[in-house]
Every structure is written in C-alpha cells, then in structure tokens.
Copies of this chain bind each other. A is one copy, B any other.
Amino acid sequence: MKPTIRDVARMAEVSISTVSRVMNAPETVVPSKRNRVIEAIKELKYQPNAFARGLIYKKSNTLGLLIPDIENLYFAGVIRGMQDACIKLGYSLMICNTDRDMERTLSYIDTFHEKQVDGIVFASDMLYPEYYEKLTGFRIPFVLVSSHSDEYEVPSVEVDDELAAYDAVKFLIELGHKEIGMIGFNHDNSVSGPPRAAGFVRALTEFGLERNTGRIKYANHRFEHAYQAAHELFSEYPELSAVFCVADEFAMGTISYLKDRNILVPGQVSVIGFDNLRMSGMFIPKLTTIAQPIYQLGYRAAEKLHELLTTGNVAVMKEQMEHKLIVRESSREK
C-alpha cells in the first residue's frame, strides 16, 4: 500500500501539518524536526501525488521554462507558444537559459524552487539523472518539450523525429537523388540526434542506397558549425547532389557554404532543413524543410503542465505532434 502523509508524520513523530510545512515551507520548521521528516519521506518513499500537492502547496501561478540556448531560433517559437498558453491559463512565465551546462541547469532548478514556481517545462535537453533527482526531490511537477525520457515516466511532447527524418530523406530520394549526405546533431548531447540519424539510415536502406549511410557530418546546434561540417562533407563526398540537414540553421549554414563555393542551390545541390523556423521562408533560397509545429509544441507543453498541476496526472504521457513537409525553393528534381 502506498504510504500516506499520516505514515510519514507517525514515523517522524511530528504532526501532519509539520510534514506539510516541510514540503511547503521547510524554512519554517526547526532543523531537527525537518530532518526527521525528510528521513521518513525517504525511508517510506512517500510521494504526494501532484493533485494533493496542489492542494497542500501554495500556488504561485508562475511557470518556469528551462531552455538550452536562447539564441537558437527554434526556441523563440516554443517560447511564444508557451507564453500564449500561459496567458490563457493565468500563469506568468519565467525563462532561464541553461547553455546545456549541467551546473547552471541545476542552479536554475534551485532558483525556480526558491521562487516557488508551480511547475517547470524543460526544453530539448537530455533529462540527466541529476536533473530528475533534483526536480523530484523538490517535488516540482515538470514536463519535457522537444524531448522525452526513456528512463523515467515524465510527460513529454515532441514530434516523431525518426519518422520526420525518414520523410525528409524519402522526399529527396523520390526527387531522383542518389548521392545524399546529412548534417546531424552531435549524438552525445542531443535527444533528437540519434532518431533523426536513424530516419536517414532507414530511408536510404529502404530504397537500396545504403552506400550513403556513412555520409554524415555532425555540428553543434549553430549554423557556423554547420558551415564547417558542410565543408567537411563536400570535401569528402564531392559527388553529393542532396543534403538532409537536421535543423534549418544547419540548412542555412550549408547553403551559405555552397554559395561561397559557387555551388548552386538547388541547381546543383538540393538542401532540406528541419524545423520550419520563422526565418526559413525568408532565406534565399527559401528553405524546403520538415515543419515542426513549433508554436503548438510550446503551447501544448504549457497545457500539459497545467493538466498535471490541476489534476495530478496527464491523459497522454508521451505525446507526439504531427510534422509536415514544406516544399519551397532549396530542393529540385535530379
């Protein structure tokens, strides 16, 4: 049977309201009692469900958002969607920028806890055990956006990265391209890197183009890096007639590289991006890309967190939203 707050109080030899205070405003409880309560919570593995938590804890009507890189155009759209949902639902939204730095991320979780946010949306980064432990230790409800966790049961909302990448590469193949490369995310710090690479490989394999599967160079989230990666890719495989880029920023960096080498896009090389950033329709040439519902992902993440905060649960744990191929000017039949 699941332990109750009563069990914790009994084991710690304190009143139920003291247990509640330890969870709600620990600084108001003398350290000796506080430590007994914390020990009892740990020993019993007591977990108030989020609903009960919502009833016990003071609501601040503030949500926190942790994003890895404020300069990445992708997040601007996520933030806009999340903010609009927050306005509708009556929350203030506070944003902190982690730079994918573990120490900073942990420190911002501390800050959000001190500021008593009701919940956190955690965007795009890996949910390392350190983060999970701290968030659950503080009992801060949270959801993941553009990310998911295989290890933990955490609500998440994202697109199907593998299928989206598959669709992008299949599109290039159906245009007649047979020499195809890819600019991908470094796998070691990327949630979507491995599935997008898997989609690339699956499409090539399905159409008998396995010889391309090794033609991948990796970049680190910025178009400057993609420019460099494109240089490496085309130096090694000058025969390529199409490139799948796992981000629109990478597609822009790749096109910029090709332009500087006087290689025409799409005349000589087709480039397809991923994201459908606000920028992608204004770039020259306008980008063919896989559209993520960026705004909706942010909006949905806030709604999901609200659902978790108000009902203690979410109807769909791992939610996937639809992607869509947008054909513009950067791709052409071979």
Contact = CB atoms under 8 A, between A and B. Distances in A.
Interface of A: 60, 62, 70-71, 73, 76-77, 79-80, 83, 87, 92-97, 99, 104, 107-108, 111, 114-115, 223-224, 227, 252-253, 255-256, 259, 278-279, 282-284
Nearest to A61: B111
A285 to B, nearest CB: 8
B223 A282 contact: yes
A224 B277 CA distance: 13
B95 A94 contact: yes
Contacts of A279: 279
Contacts of A252: 282
A127 B326 CA distance: 41
A197 to B, nearest CB: 24
Contacts of A76: 70-71, 76
Contact of A96 (B70, B92, B104, B256): B92
A92 B111 CA distance: 7
9 contacts: A76-B76, A83-B97, A94-B95, A95-B95, A95-B96, A252-B282, A253-B282, A283-B283, A283-B284
